[in-house]
Amino acid sequence: MLRHASRQLLGAAAAATSCRQAGCLPGAAAVGAARCMAAASAVAPEAQVTLPDLPYDYSALEPAISGEIMRLHHGKHHAAYVAGFNKAMEQLGEAQARRDAQGIVALQRAITFNGGGHVNHSIFWTNLAPVSEGGGSPPEGPLKAAVQAQFGSLDALIARMSAAGAGVQGSGWVWLGVSDQKKLAVATTMNQDACITTGLVPLLGIDVWEHAYYLQYKNVRPDYLKNIWKVVNWKDVEQRYAAAM
Ligand SMILES: [Fe+2]
């Protein structure tokens, strides 16, 4: 995902560079410049991020998370972040082609929000699994040992993350990540700020936006945070932990 974003940034920059090398900007005739800008802003379809398929049916996480929530969350909310990020990246290419520093700066918020939304949700879906496919089964191996060494027990880690998630004001995420010192750490982010902005490599993210639970749990976020652990895919978290170490 981030790799896709990087490729897109590079692609837009390369298009702008080829324009400059072709002598189109600056000082080109207006028509030629416009043609050049269009070439720079065109984002190749393969460079755009796409909505990933869920690895399970919308209703597969019930009763912990309703199928209606999953359908809207994935098909509407995540899809909107994907569309917003691709649009912002296209606009970034145009601003780069114009050498419009103010325009580039103005786009950063949309890129952070929509790009973060895409990155965060892409992690979230794979952090979950139906009970029939191992959801809720506790971690094993090196991750289990690290959790016990640093938090005392899995239950203690869950309690800590649940409390941190309940304490997020407004919308955001609670994360388990790995620090530069290769230690596990719990962190929260606001809105759609990505885990990596905290300096941690993300292992497990729990979405505490209202859109993740309100249809089923209303305003009682702690109940959502109590039940979501029944469908956490610790196998996926183990794999992320191994890759981060
Ligand atoms: Fe969400």
DSSP 147-208: HHHHHSSHHHHHHHHHHHHHT--SSEEEEEEE-TTS-EEEEEEETT--GGGGTPEEEEEEE-
Q: Which of 126, 142, 173 is the last residue of a domain?
A: 126
- Region 11-27 average pLDDT: 35
Task: Say yes or no: 169 and 116 in one domain.
Answer: no
**Domain membership flag for residue 109:** yes
Q: Which of 104, 126, 148 is the last residue of a domain?
A: 126
Q: What is the mean pLDDT of the chain?
A: 87
Task: Say yes or no: 36 and 142 in one domain.
Answer: no
43 C-alpha vs ligand 1 centroid, how far in Å?
26
142 C-alpha vs ligand 1 centroid, how far in Å?
29
209 C-alpha vs ligand 1 centroid, how far in Å?
6
How far apart are alpha carbons 137 and 143 in whole angstroms? 13
| Model pLDDT for residues 193-238, shown as the tens digit of each residue | 999 999 999 999 999 999 999 999 999 999 999 999 999 999 999 9
Task: Say yes or no: 205 and 165 in one domain.
Answer: yes
Instruction: Choose the weakest-confidence range: 23-32, 64-73, 173-182, 192-201.
Output: 23-32
Task: Say yes or no: 84 and 6 in one domain.
Answer: yes
Quick one: pLDDT at residue 31? Answer: 39
**Domain membership flag for residue 150:** yes
Feature table: binding site for Mn(2+): 73, 121, 207, 211
Q: What percent of the chain has pLDDT over 90?
A: 81
> Which tokens sit at 30?
């207006």
37 C-alpha vs ligand 1 centroid, how far in Å?
35
The reported pTM is 0.82
Q: Which of 111, 126, 141 is the last residue of a domain?
A: 126
Feature table: binding site: 73, 121, 207, 211
E strand or H helix at 224: helix 221-227
Task: Say yes or no: 122 and 78 in one domain.
Answer: yes
22 C-alpha vs ligand 1 centroid, how far in Å?
44
Task: Say yes or no: 237 and 139 in one domain.
Answer: yes
77 C-alpha vs ligand 1 centroid, how far in Å?
7
- Number of structural domains (the chain) is 2
> Is residue 103 scored above 70 in pLDDT?
yes
Task: Say yes or no: 7 and 121 in one domain.
Answer: yes
Quick one: pLDDT at residue 20? Answer: 34
C-beta separation of 24 from 33 below 8 A: yes
- Quote the domain boundaries for residue 164: 131-244
> Is residue 127 scored above 60 in pLDDT?
yes
**Domain membership flag for residue 52:** no
**Domain membership flag for residue 57:** no
Quick one: pLDDT at residue 43? Answer: 64
CATH code, 37: 1.10.287.990
Task: Say yes or no: 75 and 150 in one domain.
Answer: no
Quick one: pLDDT at residue 179? Answer: 97
C-beta separation of 202 from 63 below 8 A: no
**Domain membership flag for residue 59:** no
Task: Say yes or no: 135 and 174 in one domain.
Answer: yes
Q: Please, what's the b/e burial string for 113-146 (b: 16 or more CB within 10 A of its CB; e: otherwise)?
A: bbbbbbbbbbbbbbbbbbeeeebbeebeeebeeb
192 C-alpha vs ligand 1 centroid, how far in Å?
8
Query: How big is the chain, counted in residues?
Result: 245
Instruction: Choose the weakest-confidence range: 20-34, 56-70, 173-187.
Output: 20-34
How far apart are alpha carbons 24 and 155 in whole angstroms? 62
219 C-alpha vs ligand 1 centroid, how far in Å?
16
Task: Say yes or no: 107 and 208 in one domain.
Answer: no
Quick one: pLDDT at residue 47? Answer: 76
Quick one: pLDDT at residue 58? Answer: 98
> Is residue 7 scored above 50 in pLDDT?
no
Task: Say yes or no: 191 and 94 in one domain.
Answer: no
E strand or H helix at 79: helix 79-98
**Domain membership flag for residue 54:** no
> Is residue 22 scored above 70 in pLDDT?
no
165 C-alpha vs ligand 1 centroid, how far in Å?
13
